[in-house]
Amino acid sequence: MIEQTNKNSLQPNTPTLTESISIDPLGDGISSVTLVRASGSDVDVVNAARVSYGKYVTEITEKDAKLIHYLMRHNHTSPFEHNQLSFRIKCPLYVARQWMRHRMNSYNEISYRYVQAKDEFYQPRVWRAPDEVNKQSSGGSIDNPDINATYAQALEHAMKAYNALLAAGVCREQARGVLPMCTYTEFIFTCNLHSLFHFLKLRLGQGAQHEIQMYAQALLRLAAPHFPVSLGAWKELHMPGFDLSLYGLEKLLGD
Ligand SMILES: Cc1cc2nc3c(=O)[nH]c(=O)nc-3n(C[C@H](O)[C@H](O)[C@H](O)COP(=O)(O)OP(=O)(O)OC[C@H]3O[C@@H](n4cnc5c(N)ncnc54)[C@H](O)[C@@H]3O)c2cc1C
């Protein structure tokens, strides 16, 4: 059963880890990343690598942990593929568009052909400006009360138009054309650890949009207890300067 996250009333747009399997990465009480299933462990990574020598282990020793770090350093990636992580994601449509560019995964998504869209939109609390140097980046905080009003009005108009089209008898698959990119969608995302490393490397990076970075951090947080050695080795090699303090990841990944 999927458990829901609670609205974070303490600080808007702050991610919340409400219990062990679900995170509200955008902190608006709507967004969510839920770990549906994790199969496999660091032991399976070691066994996949050691099968070359006909060996099998049941628990990780110091030597095995070193082996995992060796595999990581030498791009020996296939031992990280004998496992599966499945997540249920609720995110704005524009985050989903970026996400689904990662093809080496499996996806199934809610269809607004069949389901009527809810009045659920992502409304940022902080408005960033484009970064002057890095064209892929944005930052800071624009202090202008009109922005929230402009955004809210646009959402209201869109929802009114959507409902009016449905009321006029238009099918859902056409009426959805007026929904904005910040409409929430839901999908199941299933990956293996190798593919997760790749996703995290690209989507935790500074060039990635802030919102998808927040989802990537949530994936890392939920996957870490299942593969602490492998994800620790990955982090050490690929993201040495990455701040693990969010969600207390430094304790899980031994930084
Ligand atoms: C910061 C950022 C900005 C981006 N901006 C844009 C943008 O402006 N416009 C845009 O269109 N996209 C953009 N992208 C998406 C990007 O081009 C990739 O599509 C996305 O990051 C998925 O990466 P991937 O193909 O490596 O992953 P996956 O699709 O998961 O593939 C994993 C790996 O499998 C291999 N592979 C998969 N498919 C093929 C194939 N057909 N041929 C050969 N090898 C394959 C490659 O080695 C690949 O790295 C952006 C991505 C990032 C992170």
Ligand 1 atom at minimal distance to the Cα of residue 105: 30
55 domain-assigned:
no
Q: Quick check: is 203 in a domain? A: yes
Q: Is 203 a catalytic residue?
A: yes
Q: Higher confidence at residue 254 or residue 135?
A: 135
Q: Does any domain span residue 143? A: no
Predicted confidence band of residue 11 (pLDDT cuts 50, 70, 90): very low
Assess whether pLDDT exceeds 50 at residue 3: no
Q: What is the mean pLDDT of residues 68-90?
A: 97
Residue 130 domain flag: no
Residue among 94, 97, 103 to mutate when testing ligand 1 (max atoms within 8 A of CB): 103
Q: How far apart are CA 88 and CA 162, in angstroms?
A: 26
Q: Is residue 93 part of a domain?
A: yes
Task: Dump pLDDT digits (tens) for 23-70.
Answer: 999 999 999 999 999 999 999 999 999 999 999 999 999 999 999 999
Kindly indicate the confidence band of residue 16, based on its pLDDT and cuts at 50, 70 and 90.
low
Give the residue numbers spanning the domain of 247: 16-40+83-122+182-253
Q: Which of 88, 176, 203, 221 is catalytic?
A: 203
Residue 151, in any domain of the structure: no
106: CB partners within 8 A, 6+ apart:
188, 189, 190, 191
| Nearest alpha carbon, ligand 1 atom 42 | 103
Q: Which tokens hold the place of 115?
A: 């389901």
* CATH number of 116's domain: 3.30.1360.170
Residue 7 lies in a domain: no
In a domain, 64, yes or no: no
Report how many domains make up the chain. Answer: 1
Query: What is the average per-residue pLDDT within 132-137?
Result: 86
Pocket lined around ligand 1, Cβ cut-off 6 Å: 101-104, 136, 198, 202, 207-208
